[in-house]
Structure 1
């Protein structure tokens, strides 16, 4: 079971590691898109979000207060869905459909991260292949 949880953790964070790396290595391009979506201080937002998702990814992957890492990834996912993929603002049908797909993808990933948060907070002390137990505890 411990190995399956580790494999799941690693597979889960691959998307976030790639995204966080892009936030920090392609900041200007990503900030341009962020600005086009109306997010204030797009360069700062891009860098801060990159740091948050990389920190959350490392936390989940290593099992270092993985509950907090999963919570950070959930917060990021829900924020991106609302701020960057507001399909309800789009009038062109194809753009609306694309943004709706991205919004629900981010919502689903955020939901999965919340499940991971609860799992780590509840069972984290009993899981192997973790550096620490959870920072928070749900009984």
Structure 2
């Protein structure tokens, strides 16, 4: 019978905490977009994104749907990869610090950098999976 080392236990606990924290970023954002759908569509349209209603629906599906998959640890690698792609695509659209007035540049550049870090974390999650404390219950 295989034994679990202290390091393996910590790895699984940290993976669970990491999944919860990543999900905490995306699930409430997706849920808020449902309740404020018209406002979300308006904001997306103001950034010049075509088909803003479709884009809002896709954002909800990505944030809420993929965020829930990450939270429970099912299809985590694919969900994390999907969210990484989603964040990588929307970041230069919604945090284009080079195209805003100087007074807004620092805030938008910081948000841009944080989103890149989130993409990095999602890619790590995609590479290593959810850990054993998940619905999948295995490291595959």
- TM class by shorter-chain length? 0.7 to 0.9
| Structure 1 runs (4+) greater than 2 angstroms displaced | 1-4
Unpaired runs of at least 5, structure 1? none
* Equivalences, count: 129
Distance 1:82 1:50 in 2: 19
Matching of residue 52 in structure 1 with residue 56 in structure 2:
no
- The higher relative CO (CA closer than 8 Å, separation ≥ 6) is in 2
Matching of residue 76 in structure 1 with residue 86 in structure 2:
yes
Distance 2:87 2:47 in 1: 16
1:130 is aligned, of 105, 121, 134, to 134
1:34 is aligned, of 44, 54, 65, to 44
Q: In structure 1, what is the equivalent of residue 105 of structure 2?
A: 96
Q: Is the 8 A contact 1:87 1:96 kept in 2?
A: yes
Q: In structure 2, what is the equivalent of residue 23 of structure 1?
A: 33
Q: In structure 2, what is the equivalent of residue 113 of structure 1?
A: 122
1:35-77 Cα distance to aligned partner (Å, 9 max, x none): 1111111121011111112121111111101001111111121
Q: TM-score if structure 2 supplies the norm length?
A: 0.83
Task: Determine which structure has more spread, i.e. the larger CA radius of gyration.
Answer: 2
Distance 2:89 2:103 in 1: 23
Structure 1 vs Structure 2 CA RMSD = 1.7
